[in-house]
Structure 1
Amino acid sequence: MRGVRPLRPGDPTSVGSYKVTGFLGEGGQGSVYLGVSPSGEQVAIKLLHARFADDEQAVRRFRREAEAARRVAEFCTARVLEVGAVNDQPFIVGEYVDGPSRNLGSSHFDLMLDLPSGYQGPARSPGANTDSAIQTPDDRTIVFRLKRPYATFDDVVQLPETVPVPKAKGTRDTVLASGPYKIESVSTDKKKVVLTRNDQWAAATDPNRDPLPDRYEIDYQVTDAEQRLRAGTAEFGPSITSPGDAAAVLADSALKKRADVPVTASVRMLAINPQVPPFDKADCRKAVVRALNLKQLGLAYGPGAAQSRLPTSLVPPTVAGGRWRDPNLKAEGDPQAAKQSLAACGKPAGFATSYVYRNLPSEQQIAQVVQRDLAAIGIEVKLRQVSTAEFHKSYGGNPGRLKQQGIGLIPKSWAPDWPDPDAFLSSIADSRQITDTYSFNVSVRVKAIDDLMDRARAELDAGKRADLWTEVEQKLADEAVLVPLVWISPLLLRGQNAVNVHVSPVYDNYDLLTMGVR
């Protein structure tokens, strides 16, 4: 089997019930291994890097990849066999496809393109006629044909999976650079990568990228990133999450000048489950929304959110289009209005419900604020803490289990792959995305919203499309099934020599593609 290498020191010998027999490759999210199932079937196992186990955004992207792959017809990508977690590290198991194929790869194009029946990808269907989906009328034009209209498909074709690869070459063992930089070296422990200028790249054929630095030196798994940023020996690093470290940065005038607290495209939300009474009544759900103290929730989440703007809508302002400002969202809550909603839903004395969350400090702190706010209006919230693995397996994406267990409140988070309302709302608000296995949507089942989203996706006029998405947001606010708790706003510290600084709203940090140095 081509591309299979021996296991490295530190690689697992098993993942769940699967025996690991070889190493297939590694990406930004995780490592991919060759394995054997209990029945003897060869499988590909993608294991999220341990350093991302507590990173909500990384876990979300990883699980969304698995859910998208489940929805794709089996002839398009490797079939997903299991999604799980071991030691709180999520993993995806799929059938193994030998050769330069996409074992557990991204599925946007497979979901959207009008590929022919029986097509199994370029590795297993090399002679197939794919003109129904892709045409190349000349050397500079690619025409994509979709299963159904999608007005912002240009956002999709900007994703990494559209990077061209020469037909005669694979990328399993060789990295091909199409942009202004190429890999000069990778340390033996895979903790340092050096990028230098790509001598095969020309600005004349790539007007979209303006390379500034001559060289990137990127260190992974460092424990002193913040110290390096403070000292000026690094230009880019992770956000500051410790309240003590944040206070020290904001108290130092020189460091504060280099600090930023941008609103990103990521949101922490509370799903209110209409399958669990009395949340089957809209006014009971609105009582929760009206009672929440957004200031205290921001303080509970972390130092960045405490310094940033409070949410006024479900979709943050960094996403394209207009926003619907939810009148029920108040900085300090509105207990009186919340009690009026309780009376309107026939529960003037309140009621009891359950709230399940992961065993992470920020989620515990947010759960306690929600519990306190709702207690003030007579709603008793029973908190249930579970491990990250158990949350994702049994609660966070399992609507049937949530209904069975009577869990009314579920913390959720979301960030789109690109800053567009459809990328933000589809997976969390389209009822047709709900499955019996894992669903990001656990609380929205409104056909009128599904129909509106279909119209918005197909609308070519940008202004009309924005109006339709605003109407979707309004209906979601009226239903009170998804409540924004925090617009995620990381506290970032840029290096002393960094210039042309821009924050990527999707990746919640500075954009390395635009950053330069003095």
Structure 2
Amino acid sequence: MTTNKGLLSLAICLLLGASGCGGGGKPRAATAEGGPVKGGTLTVFNNADFNHLDPARNWTMRDMGFGARLLYRTLTTFKPGSAEVVPDLATDLGRPSEGGKVWTFTLKDGVTYEDGSPVKAQDVKYNVERSFSPELTGGPDYARKYLISDGYKGPLTGKHLDSIETPDDKTIVFRLRRPVAEFSQTTTLPTFSPVPQSKEAGVKYDDRPFSSGPYKIEKYQRKVELVLVRNQHWSPATDQVRKAYPDRIVVNMSVGGAARDTRLIADQGPDRSAIGYTDVALPVLPKVFTDPRARQRMSSMVDGCTGLIYLNTAKPPFDRQKARMAVHYAADKTALQTAAGGPQMAEVVGAILPPGLTGGAQRDLLNIPPAGDVEKAKALLAEAGVQTPVKIRMATSAGGKAQAEALQAGLKRAGFDLQIDLVDTSALNGINGTPAKMPELQFGGWCPDYPSGSTFLPMIADSRLISEGYHGGNASLLKDPAIDEKISEIDAMTDAQAAGKAWLELEEQVMATGAYVPVTLVKQNNLFGSNVAGVTGNPIWEGNPDFAEIGLKDPGLSK
């Protein structure tokens, strides 16, 4: 999100037109004839380096999909192009006991590293322990939340975690603080992949993860190029998910944005065997839609990150629920969608949770017209006892200016006078993330790490996350004891289906506070060359192409 679960928007959904996270929707794959075959070199165009490839630190959605499909395996994973959880390193989805507070996994036979040595349960334990290390920042924090840890600071201190047991090389047992009904989904995260203690390199492990997946690193020159070659010791007999079609995968970190897309549209020479790592640049998208051949070579999928407007409940006028609801009715979401690039880039929504967490259905909880209901907004402001014009502020970077101005115009119709402070991107986190500095509203958003409401609603609405120096994800600074209590109640459930229903009920409760205005779901559009096949978006990893099944039609054309 950088989807590292700080406010996603501050890196991605803040711009509403930038593609972001993981989630719902049906992917559209290539329709060109010919499927992928073994061999050749797949080129990946990107104009930036990976945030992290160390599995203990990898919490950026695109990078998680890349690492977990190509370099390392996890206890459980997702079917290609799907949110369905299936076994990966483990023989099954885990066996809960003691009311869901203890989970046991057994590793498959024949799973090995790039040097042919066996993957052991102790190696999975070691990487989970690494996620506690203050030196290894940026990774998923679910192990810290769920495991009994008592101030544990990671294995670099020479200590190990008692709440993870490995009675033998094939068995790993997790003892949790509380029941976690969806722990099988939690173990899809890179945190639950193996790292042998003998390969520990601290922060330098980012430069050369030791492979348990179908590829290993041949060369990694930061900000320039990553070259992957086959891990000859990877056994497809133990892996029903990854097809590993290309012989080599080369990530070129000097081609991105409009230049990348122009090359992929032209589809010449070796570029026919290339794919874009990130979504199509907005200025180029009209060229794709007017070129039938290029459009046929674009994977398009609604990602699972909901773009939100956070209303600061600690400041007037948004310390009043009806004033907050007035924003829901005053906002012109159609204009916001247009500012984000139009329907081909974003879908207007009327609920907080994305379809991936609601059984595929896009809910509309308030039934407000996309362009708003100005008279209703005015009436709510009057009922709130707020005098107009209502002066409010927001801070955004230059990249968010168009969306901010679209919001400004919509709110003005109802009597809001929104001042837009343009600030440098580097300063934005400090303003929008620090409670004492936060303006009346801000753009934001959230993405689930896996298909469970537990990875979404608690992150944005639990008041216990708020500290003096950081809102913890609750950027509305909402403090509602009833919501906090309900979160704890659902967390204690041992039935995943019952918990899923309860999260939907809680969504309605959270929406009723008015503190979060759902705006859009962003579409992820990725171009690829005519020699590339097997491209489908994955609903978990931002709707980005799933590298499990991508390959070339004719390996000879990649030379």
Q: CA deviation at 1:264?
A: 0.4
**Partners of 2:374 and 2:223 in 1: CA distance:** 53
Contact map agreement 1:135 1:143 (CA 8 A) in 2: yes
Q: Secondary structure at the match of 1:325?
A: coil
**Partners of 1:186 and 1:273 in 2: CA distance:** 44
Q: CA deviation at 1:462?
A: 3.0
Contact map agreement 1:323 1:473 (CA 8 A) in 2: no
Contact map agreement 2:305 2:522 (CA 8 A) in 1: yes
Contact map agreement 2:310 2:444 (CA 8 A) in 1: yes
Say if 2:183 is the partner of 1:153: yes
Say if 2:373 is the partner of 1:334: yes
**1:85-106 deviation per Cα after TM superposition (whole angstroms, max 9, x unaligned):** xxxxxxxxxxx6xxxxx46655
Residues 273 and 186 of structure 1: CA distance in aligned 2, closer, same or farther (over 3 Å) = closer
Q: Which amino acid aligns with 1:309?
A: E
Q: Secondary structure at the match of 1:222?
A: coil
Say if 2:379 is the partner of 1:345: no
**Partners of 1:202 and 1:370 in 2: CA distance:** 53
Residue among 160, 163, 187 paired with 2:193: 163
Q: CA deviation at 1:190?
A: 5.0
**Partners of 1:161 and 1:441 in 2: CA distance:** 24
1:379-458 equivalences under 5 Å are 379-393=416-430, 395-402=431-438, 407-439=439-471, 440-443=473-476, 444-458=478-492
1:48-59 equivalences under 5 Å are none
Q: CA deviation at 1:434?
A: 0.7
Equivalence for 1:296: 335
Equivalence for 1:311: 349
**Partners of 1:306 and 1:371 in 2: CA distance:** 23
Equivalence for 1:225: 260
Equivalence for 1:140: 170
Q: Which amino acid aligns with 2:406?
A: V
**Partners of 1:324 and 1:186 in 2: CA distance:** 44
Equivalence for 2:279: 239
Residue among 521, 524, 529 paired with 1:487: 521
5+ residue gaps, structure 1: 1-25, 33-45, 53-74, 80-95, 97-101
Say if 2:144 is the partner of 1:110: yes
Q: Which stretch of structure 1 is more off in the superposition, 506-515 or 467-476?
A: 506-515
Q: CA deviation at 1:432?
A: 0.7
**Partners of 2:543 and 2:434 in 1: CA distance:** 27
Equivalence for 1:87: none
What is the Cα-based RMSD across aligned positions, in Å?
A: 3.0
Q: CA deviation at 1:178?
A: 0.1
Q: Secondary structure at the match of 2:460?
A: helix
Q: Which amino acid aligns with 1:417?
A: D
Contact map agreement 1:285 1:480 (CA 8 A) in 2: yes
Name the structure, 1 or 2, with higher relative contact order (CA <8 Å, separation 6+): 2
**1:399-419 deviation per Cα after TM superposition (whole angstroms, max 9, x unaligned):** 2223xxxx3211112223333
Q: CA deviation at 1:283?
A: 1.3
Equivalence for 1:67: none
**Partners of 1:308 and 1:120 in 2: CA distance:** 41
Contact map agreement 1:77 1:105 (CA 8 A) in 2: no
Q: CA deviation at 1:308?
A: 4.1
Q: Which amino acid aligns with 1:270?
A: I
Residues 141 and 328 of structure 1: CA distance in aligned 2, closer, same or farther (over 3 Å) = same
Q: Which stretch of structure 1 is more off in the superposition, 217-226 or 117-126?
A: 117-126
**Partners of 2:466 and 2:506 in 1: CA distance:** 18
Contact map agreement 2:261 2:281 (CA 8 A) in 1: no
Q: CA deviation at 1:508?
A: 4.2
1:43-192 equivalences under 5 Å are 77-79=132-134, 102=136, 106-115=140-149, 117=150, 119-126=152-159, 128=160, 130-131=161-162, 133-171=163-201, 172=204, 174-187=208-221, 191-192=224-225
Q: CA deviation at 1:76?
A: 8.3
Equivalence for 1:369: 406
Contact map agreement 1:76 1:119 (CA 8 A) in 2: no
Residues 372 and 120 of structure 1: CA distance in aligned 2, closer, same or farther (over 3 Å) = closer
- Aligned residues, how many? 421
Equivalence for 1:28: 50
**Partners of 1:376 and 1:435 in 2: CA distance:** 35
Residues 236 and 420 of structure 1: CA distance in aligned 2, closer, same or farther (over 3 Å) = farther
Q: Secondary structure at the match of 1:288?
A: helix
Q: Which amino acid aligns with 1:330?
A: P
Residue among 486, 503, 525 paired with 1:469: 503
Q: CA deviation at 1:369?
A: 1.2
Q: Secondary structure at the match of 2:523?
A: coil
Q: CA deviation at 1:448?
A: 1.5
**1:452-507 deviation per Cα after TM superposition (whole angstroms, max 9, x unaligned):** 22222332323311211111110121111011122121333233233222213333
Contact map agreement 1:324 1:473 (CA 8 A) in 2: no
Equivalence for 1:63: none
5+ residue gaps, structure 2: 1-47, 64-129, 554-559
Contact map agreement 1:292 1:332 (CA 8 A) in 2: yes
Q: Indicate the percent of aligned positions where both proteins have the same amino acid.
A: 30
Q: Which stretch of structure 1 is more off in the superposition, 246-255 or 350-359?
A: 350-359
Q: Which amino acid aligns with 1:170?
A: E
Contact map agreement 2:434 2:470 (CA 8 A) in 1: yes
**Partners of 1:485 and 1:146 in 2: CA distance:** 36
Equivalence for 2:234: 201
Q: Secondary structure at the match of 1:158?
A: coil
